[in-house]
Structure 1
Amino acid sequence: MTARTLKVGLTQWHATTDIAANLATALRLIERAAAAGAQLVTLPENGLMLGTNVQMREAALHEDATEIRQLRRAAVTHGVAVVLGGMKNRTGEATYNSALVIDAAGELVGRYDKMHLFDARIGGRSFEASTVERPGAGPVLLELNGIRIGLTICYDVRFPELSRALAVAGAQVLLVPAAFVQSTGAAHWHTLLRARAIENLAYVVAPATVHSPDPEFADAFATYGHALVVSPWGEILADLGEDPEAVRVVELDLEAVTRARAGLPVLAGRRGAGEYDAEPRVLRLSGRAAEVAR
């Protein structure tokens, strides 16, 4: 039977290259979220280690790393499911940016590997994620108490076709854990997350890392914070601002998704994929303005 509500723990913290300190923060916030009634605790991308490309590549963890085992124990201790929203995951010869899904029994039930890698130039700085990790192969849904939750990571938010595919597959909630660059976050973060919620009539839950509160501290790159929960109607239900260590539990009413999709059946109204893939017809206009009749 599908649950009608889901209590989600939204987290945010200032992540650094100190994995032990980052892990301690994650464990504190899991405990606080569970104490506030969370059933699912969401942790940000790169929350366990945020540094330069070289530092993150060298610090990549295996799924059986001590740090992951500690998160699994925390899930059992507090009786909550946990999604580690993105870690550099060393798998054989490859490294992926993986969201790990841990159930309340502490089992690592699976992962989503980030499909869209952040190869971009922002403010004169190059972010070449493909020098650290490989792209994932496809979308992933998790199901908790009958509720379908779509997994994405950070830069994926700029590719609406992924969120739409997850929604069409039944996702009522979209996770967007992030370490969003501060400059692009200030310009685009709220708009992108509200757009993904509105166009899919789904909740969006986006835990985040945030820049240092100390202006003298030099982050490898400053991240925006503002971990958000957005309703299916595009309302911001929670915004953690620039708090360097924060958690909030938000109860998601899944009936709101049902009502929104019944009133605006955009998912049912999609045309066949082949129609969107067809080459568009081009209508060419004359470049000369027509004379106005007098």
Structure 2
Amino acid sequence: MQLTARSVEGCADRAAVSTQVRAHIADVATQLHAACIFIEQYGGAPVRLAVLPEYLFTSYPGRIGVGDFAEKVAFDVDGPEYAALGKVAQDRGLHLAVNAYERDVHFPGLYFQASLVFAPSGDCVLRYRRLNSMFAPTPHDVWTAYLDHYGIDGVFPVARTEIGNLSAIASEEIVYPEIARAHALRGAEVFVHSSSEIGSPNPTHKALAKRARAFENLAYVVSANTAGISGTALPLASADGNSCVVDWRGAVLSESNSGETFTAFADIDLHALRAARRKPGMTNYLARQRTELFAHNPQVQPADRLANTVPTRDDFRRAHDEVIARLDREGLI
């Protein structure tokens, strides 16, 4: 579903944010219902998986401080917003993949960008938190404590469902092959990718990466982009278009143009994917991996840099500058 993200910048407080978000969820439920009916009449099969864009219900934090955004905007893990989204999945009888910013009681003052999947039961069966971000906290920034609470399977979760093994990739993480590979090596067959990115008739970095992540892992990529972001100073369609479904061979099965639409829909053939993964040959890139070769790569971004710290936006930029300077000193760039 390629839909317009709505910024909550204009909301006065957390109560106003919640009211706007709940209204938006209701609107999306109506759109999803209509789209499912059309697709089922068009293709003759029920819709089993729907993917929504990145930060659809709040937009991005912008210049709002980390602590302030966590307090005013970020969802609670057991909050009413997620309960409402679970009910949407339950009412439609499908798996619903969403992306939002959320708080964690173990890390006060911070928020994480989370990709979740709700099952037809309404239960959350997958919670993945973005690991690589320029201006937002990630689990890697509080790595030691995060592993203590959630373990490595909580970092790279895979949901084993009746429609296949699902995992999530958030936004620009699609250009980092290691993240998709870590999920694939844990059994992921379908990557749900919530994004808010520049659309173009030319191949963008993300568009190229979606195809690469699919064929190198023998996995499907279901990628939902925003249809613009409303309520900000940016021109509306700055992040719009090119939602797509890519098969395990890297072929784009369907792709949307610009605007709000459901037209990036396709069939997922798990039998063909599983057969390919079990067939010896040069194109079985997943089974040909030699992962031990890469266990001792040089460190780039350090872990635990936000332990016991609530950062400012300038702190993120300063840390990035320090990494570049260190890699330069060490002759690595």
Q: Does the pair score TM above 0.5?
A: yes
Aligned match of 2:179 in 162, 166, 172? 162
Candidates 46, 52, 59, aligned match of 1:43:
52
Alignment counterpart, residue 100 of structure 2, candidates 87, 104, 108: 87
User: Out of 286, 290, 293, which is 1:275 matched to?
Assistant: 293
- In the alignment, is residue 73 of structure 1 matched against residue 82 of structure 2? no
- Tell me which amino acid in the other structure corresponds to 1:59: V
* Corresponding residue of 2:168: 151
For 1:140, which of 150, 157, 166 is the aligned residue? 157
C-alpha distance in 2 between matches for 1:169 and 1:265: 16
Please tell me whether residue 196 in structure 1 is matched to residue 213 in structure 2.
Answer: yes
> 1:41 aligns to what SS in structure 2?
strand
Task: Write the deviation string for residues 142-170 of structure 1: whole angstroms up to 9, x where unpaired.
Answer: 11116212211112112101111222222
Shift in Å, 1:237 = 0.8
Larger Rg computed on CA atoms: 1
SS in structure 2 of the partner of residue 45 of structure 1: coil
Between Structure 1 and Structure 2, which shows a larger proportion of strand residues?
1
**Structure with more relative contact order (C-alpha pairs < 8 Å, separation 6 or more):** 1
C-alpha contact 1:151 1:174 (8 A) present in aligned 2: yes
Name the CA distance, whole Å, in 2 between partners of 1:95 and 1:42: 22
Q: CA RMSD in A?
A: 3.1
Q: Which residue number in structure 1 is paired with residue 136 of structure 2? A: 129
The secondary structure found in structure 1 opposite 2:267 is strand
For the 8 Å contact 1:34–1:80, the answer to whether it is kept is no
Task: Render the CA deviation track for 1:164-215: whole Å, top value 9, x for unaligned.
Answer: 12222222211211112458x96212211011111112111111112269xx
Q: Which amino acid aligns with 1:49?
A: T
1:26 to 25, 28, 31: 28
Provide Cα deviations, 1:11-51, integer angstroms capped at 9, x if missing partner: 11111215445323421233235433211221111011114
1:123-149: CA deviation from partner (whole Å, max 9, x where unpaired): xxxxx2349x96786211111116212
Secondary structure of the corresponding residue to residue 252 of structure 1: coil
Match of 2:3 in 1: 13
Rate the CA distance shift 1:144–1:230 in 2: closer, same or farther, 3 A: same
Distance 2:130 2:104 in 1: 14
Q: Name the CA shift for 1:15/1:134 in 2 (closer, same or farther; >3 Å).
A: farther
Letter in 2 for 1:22: H
1:220 deviation in Å? 8.2
In the alignment, the residues of structure 1 paired with residue 126 and residue 193 of structure 2 have an alpha-carbon distance, to the nearest angstrom, of 17
Name the aligned partner's letter for residue 275 of structure 1. Answer: L
Distance in structure 2 (CA, Å) of the matches to 1:53 and 1:129: 10
Q: Number of matched residues?
A: 256
- 1:66 corresponds to which letter in structure 2? P
Look up the equivalent residue of 2:285 and give its one-letter code: V
Asked whether the equivalents of residues 13 and 210 of structure 1 are also in contact (C-alpha less than 8 Å), the reply is yes
> Aligned pair in 2 of structure 1 residues 43, 212: CA closer, same or farther (>3 Å)?
closer
Greater helix percent: which structure?
2
Listed one character per residue, the Cα deviations across residues 248-269 of structure 1 (whole Å, up to 9, x for unaligned) are 5421011221343325222221
Q: TM-score when scaled to structure 1? A: 0.75
Aligned pairs (5 A) from 1:248-267? 248-261=264-277, 262=279, 263=281, 264-267=283-286
Q: Letter of the 1:83 partner, please give it.
A: A
Report if the CA contact (8 A) 1:16-1:219 is conserved. Answer: no
What percentage of aligned pairs have identical amino acids? 24
- Give unpaired runs (5+ residues) of structure 2: 9-19, 41-45, 148-154, 299-333
State the Cα distance separating 1:236 from its structure 2 match: 0.7
User: Would you say the 8 A contact 1:40–1:82 is kept in 2?
Assistant: yes
